Chains A and B, each alone.
Chain A
Amino acid sequence: MDETPLIQQYLQLRSEFMGYLYAMTRDAELSEEVYQNAAVVVMEQSQKAETIRNFRAWAKEVVRRQALHAIRARAVSAKHARATSPELLEAVSDAFLQDDSEDTVVRDEARALKRCLDDLPEDKRELVAMRYESNSSFDEISEHTDSTPAAVQRALSRVRKMLHGCVQRRMQLAEGAS
């Protein structure tokens, strides 16, 4: 059993959990809040004598429950004109809970992504920064780039695909080399 403190194990899984939370809520701030709430549950668990055999699986369930609770509590606002269908939310949660990707794969992906980001042309990197660093909407970015929201959305989609393709290629190259 892993002797690392639970909160530290939880922090190490941050990207995986944030990815799931964003897939569920499509709201970076709400995802962060849910992640923090789940952190409190993890810390409370640390005080208990009870042993957790598979922390990753246990924490995933905590995160999933917190996410569903937040989604239910969230009022439908202008930002979320139409809620994601329950069917898709369930399919996303199932995929998340069943995901047993090895730690090494997850770490290699993270490393590859950093390299791919470094290779990104400056303008595309700026676009990514505006979207993910500032959580700016397509509308906000378009005002800043003298463009249209639709054009920004398409440009970002292309950058995402480019990054994903780059990560996969680097992973395959690394696999081939080992």
Chain B
Amino acid sequence: MSDKANDHDVIEELVVGHFDGTLTEAQEKELADALGTSAEAKQLFLSYMRMEGRLHSLGRDGFLREPAAECHQSTRQPADTLPAAERVPQRSRSWRSRVWTASTSLVVCCAVVLTWALWPSSVSAGSVLEKAQQAAAEMVDRTYRLVMSHPNAEGGPATRELTITVRGGGRFVVQPEHGAYVMGSDGTVYWMARRNGSVCVTGDFRTLAPELQQRIPNRRLLDGVLASPDEPLLLDISGLLLLIERRYDIELVDSGNPAERHVQATRRFGVRGGPSVINFHADAASGVVLKAELNFADSRQRTWTLIETPTLSGQWYHHSQHAPDRPIERVGAPE
């Protein structure tokens, strides 16, 4: 190997080590010197730095897993996914392990046979989720009541209520109980109208953030807006179901009502942010989500309840129907 290639490898080791947090003081000094004296080292560091930033951004938005990594899959990897030399010693897994595996297999087989015999055929948590997603994508109007509760300073529950009407194709209208604003999307643009104020219209939901920030000075809301460009504040059932598909393990729970399916979604190991448990109930025949409960680790709770299925015109999701004759401010990216 040439000296140049060798230098490159040494610097690369230091750069990778820095992002892993494994460098010693002497190695940190070596890297700092290289960054100060070598243009090549600097470029290498910068390209790694950009890659790290992208990986964190992609990870945060849930785009790192294979689309095939679906709800049922456990995130546990088989031991052979790492090179053999790096595995934890497996020698203790001898005949006892095999006996245990055989016994477990037998029990699992019995359980499967029993479940198959007692449970209605072809219903699984995955199929319920899939059906619910198809129903949520329909061009049908559905109005939900969303109750958000969190512990107040005295420890009691404080609640807020919103009414959300959704239709497939990304259409939604959010009407808070206090009526201070109304916001929504007609499937092409997002908009928000303050009471007696102008209407902000944008093609990019994230650019509503400054407007929302002024209106509702709440960091959590801003975080939510910036974090979820494709799932605005989780304000629609499709976004909620997509979140479950990407980040939760799901299981079917006996609802005691043959007309309903109950699925419990538990946040996958290691996934941070979002509700820790989501329970949703869907109509067995249509797949329409009738109720969803989102429970957060800090005792916050959001409950969605389907209250009606009105028949609305497509135009109803346009801002002109909710804030007519108001001045329009276009913000952010062109629609």
Q: Which positions in A face B, CB cutoff 8 Å? A: 4-5, 7-8, 11, 14-23, 26, 28, 31-32, 36, 39-40, 43, 46, 82, 84-85, 87-88, 90-92, 94-96, 98-99, 101, 106, 109-110, 113-114, 117, 122-136, 140-141, 144-148, 150-157, 160-161, 163-164, 167-168
Chain A neighbourhood of B140, CB < 8 A: none
Residue from A82, A101, A125 within 8 A of B64 (CB atoms): A125
Residue from B47, B53, B271 within 8 A of A168 (CB atoms): B47
Q: Would you give 22 A-B contacts (Cβ < 8 Å), ordered by A?
A: A5-B207, A8-B332, A8-B333, A14-B53, A16-B49, A16-B50, A19-B51, A22-B52, A87-B28, A88-B18, A123-B81, A126-B75, A129-B59, A130-B75, A133-B270, A134-B269, A144-B269, A147-B79, A150-B86, A155-B86, A157-B20, A168-B47
| Nearest CB on A from B203, distance (A) | 11
Instruction: Judge whether B19 and A147 touch: CB under 8 Å.
Output: no
Q: Is B45 an interface residue (CB 8 A)?
A: yes
Interface residues of A: mostly helix, strand, loop or mixed? helix
Chain B neighbourhood of A154, CB < 8 A: 86
Q: How far, in whole Å, are A168 and B46 apart by their CA atoms in the complex?
A: 13
Task: Report how many residues on chain B are interfacial, defined by Cβ distance under 8 Å.
Answer: 67
CB contact under 8 A between A164 and B47, given known A46-B210, A90-B32: yes
Q: Which positions in B face A, CB cutoff 8 Å? A: 12, 16-22, 25, 28-29, 31-32, 35-36, 42, 45-60, 62, 64-66, 68-69, 75-79, 81-83, 86-88, 204, 206-207, 209-210, 213, 219, 222-223, 226, 268-272, 331-333
Instruction: Judge whether B18 and A132 touch: CB under 8 Å.
Output: no
Residue from B25, B82, B222 within 8 A of A151 (CB atoms): B82
Instruction: Judge whether B49 and A19 touch: CB under 8 Å.
Output: yes
Chain B neighbourhood of A123, CB < 8 A: 77-78, 81
Q: How far, in whole Å, are A161 and B269 apart by their CA atoms in the complex?
A: 26
Q: How far, in whole Å, are A31 and B116 apart by their CA atoms in the complex?
A: 49
Instruction: Judge whether A127 and B21 touch: CB under 8 Å.
Output: no
Instruction: Judge whether A133 and B65 touch: CB under 8 Å.
Output: yes
Instruction: Judge whether A140 and B270 touch: CB under 8 Å.
Output: yes
CB contact under 8 A between A85 and B25, given known A23-B18, A125-B66, A144-B76: yes
Chain B neighbourhood of A82, CB < 8 A: 25
| Nearest CB on B from A62, distance (A) | 16
Q: How far, in whole Å, are A95 and B54 apart by their CA atoms in the complex?
A: 18
| Nearest CB on A from B232, distance (A) | 14
Chain A neighbourhood of B77, CB < 8 A: 123, 126-127, 144-146
Instruction: Judge whether B32 and A151 touch: CB under 8 Å.
Output: no
CB contact under 8 A between A85 and B66, given known A23-B52, A31-B56: no
Residue from B51, B60, B331 within 8 A of A5 (CB atoms): B331
Chain A neighbourhood of B269, CB < 8 A: 134, 144
| Nearest CB on B from A70, distance (A) | 15
Q: How far, in whole Å, are A136 and B23 apart by their CA atoms in the complex?
A: 19
Instruction: Judge whether A26 and B19 touch: CB under 8 Å.
Output: yes
Instruction: Judge whether A130 and B270 touch: CB under 8 Å.
Output: yes
Instruction: Judge whether A94 and B35 touch: CB under 8 Å.
Output: yes
| Nearest CB on A from B19, distance (A) | 7
Q: How far, in whole Å, are A20 and B49 apart by their CA atoms in the complex?
A: 6
| Nearest CB on A from B289, distance (A) | 25
- Counting from the closest, the 5 A-B pairs by CB-CB distance are A19-B53, A132-B59, A134-B270, A151-B86, A123-B81
Instruction: Judge whether A132 and B16 touch: CB under 8 Å.
Output: no
| Nearest CB on A from B75, distance (A) | 7
Instruction: Judge whether A18 and B56 touch: CB under 8 Å.
Output: yes
Instruction: Judge whether A11 and B206 touch: CB under 8 Å.
Output: yes
CB contact under 8 A between A85 and B81, given known A15-B50, A19-B52, A39-B226: no
Instruction: Judge whether B49 and A91 touch: CB under 8 Å.
Output: no
Q: How far, in whole Å, are A152 and B22 apart by their CA atoms in the complex?
A: 13
Instruction: Judge whether A144 and B270 touch: CB under 8 Å.
Output: yes
CB contact under 8 A between A85 and B20, given known A11-B226, A123-B81: no
- Nearest A residue to B76 via CB reads A144
| Further 17 A-B residue pairs, CB within 8 A, beyond A14-B53, A87-B29 | A15-B54, A16-B50, A17-B53, A26-B19, A36-B226, A94-B36, A95-B42, A99-B46, A101-B50, A125-B64, A126-B75, A133-B270, A144-B77, A145-B81, A153-B20, A161-B16, A167-B47
